[in-house]
């Protein structure tokens, strides 16, 4: 399978503190990577480094280039939902998507925006002001915003946080469909391991800034045996 991203010996320090240490991994097209680790393990730092929000102290991040319809090479595009999401509460879901599309030069035709709203199950509330949305609805809008322009790589930092069980279920199902629908690779961090286990196809496990494991779901199933996923994880990071 084709790599969309390769990371070699990536290190990030804040002052004297190394928060990500010589991290290396390859990311393959169409997979959903579950990014797991203790608080402060470096998950958000890794996602910020990948999307260029912060610079590494050492190491390299290599993105695949892809062929455009007119056969030119273009760098992959990245959509990201990291920390707080910028939306306009006084505007509707539709208007928020349109505003981002206009600002960034993405296709923001009515059909494209409606298709995005449909993908995240917000078509019925397209004309509702976002300030009146529930947390789950806001999170689904955040995913739609990150999906604008159909990125090849989607980074989602704890998108299940703060959602009730129904919201978690809805967002998880939306995420699970994205790779087939848009041929997008996803890196998804979460502390809700059983939910992550339902959706991820590979797992990257960090502990205190170091890579502990990069494992496919099938190998993880073999390795954990009868242990529930959270017990396997706790045993691993001990």
Residues near ligand ATP (CB under 6 A) are 14, 19, 37, 39-45
**Long-range interactions of 128-132: CB distance < 8 A, separation 24+:** 128/92, 128/93, 129/89, 129/90, 129/91, 129/92, 130/87, 130/88, 130/89, 130/90, 130/91, 130/92, 130/93, 130/96, 131/89, 131/90
Nearest to ligand ATP of 82, 137 (CB atom): 82
Nearest to ligand ATP of 40, 149 (CB atom): 40
Nearest to ligand ATP of 128, 191 (CB atom): 191
Closest distance to ligand ATP from the beta carbon of 192 (Å): 12
Closest distance to ligand ATP from the beta carbon of 158 (Å): 7
Q: How far is CA 231 from CA 70, 117, 202, 220, 226, in A?
A: 50, 37, 18, 13, 10
Closest distance to ligand ATP from the beta carbon of 196 (Å): 13
Closest distance to ligand ATP from the beta carbon of 39 (Å): 4
Nearest to ligand ATP of 39, 68 (CB atom): 39
Give the pair of three-digit tokens for residue 197: 């286990």
Question: What element of type H or E holds 147?
Answer: helix 135-147
Closest distance to ligand ATP from the beta carbon of 177 (Å): 26
Nearest to ligand ATP of 14, 88 (CB atom): 14
Q: What's the distance, CA 17 to chain centroid?
A: 26
Strand order in the sheet with 153-157: 78-81, 153-157, 185-189, 32-37, 202-207, 210-216
């Amino acid at each position: 399978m084709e790599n969309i991203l390769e990371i070699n010996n990536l290190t990030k320090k804040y002052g004297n503190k190394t928060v990500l240490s010589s991290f290396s991994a390859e990311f393959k097209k169409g997979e959903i990577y579950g990014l797991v680790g203790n608080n402060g393990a470096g998950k958000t730092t890794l996602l910020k480094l990948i999307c260029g929000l912060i610079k590494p102290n050492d190491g390299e991040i290599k993105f695949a280039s892809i062929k455009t319809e007119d056969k030119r090479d273009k760098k992959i595009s990245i959509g990201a939902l990291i920390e707080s999401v910028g939306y306009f509460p006084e505007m509707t879901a539709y208007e928020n998507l349109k505003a981002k599309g206009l600002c960034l030069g993405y296709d923001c035709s009515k059909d494209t925006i409606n298709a995005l709203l449909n993908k995240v199950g917000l078509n019925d509330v397209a004309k509702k002001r976002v300030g009146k949305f529930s947390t789950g609805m806001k999170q689904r809008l955040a995913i739609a915003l990150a999906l604008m322009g159909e990125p090849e790589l989607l980074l989602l930092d704890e998108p299940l946080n703060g959602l009730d069980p129904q919201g978690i279920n809805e967002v998880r199902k939306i995420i699970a469909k994205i790779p087939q629908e848009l041929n997008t690779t996803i890196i998804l961090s979460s502390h809700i391991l059983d939910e992550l286990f339902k959706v991820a196809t590979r797992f990257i496990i960090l502990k205190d800034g170091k890579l502990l494991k990069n494992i496919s779901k099938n190998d993880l199933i073999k390795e954990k045996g009868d242990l529930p996923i959270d017990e396997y994880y706790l045993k691993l990071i001990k």
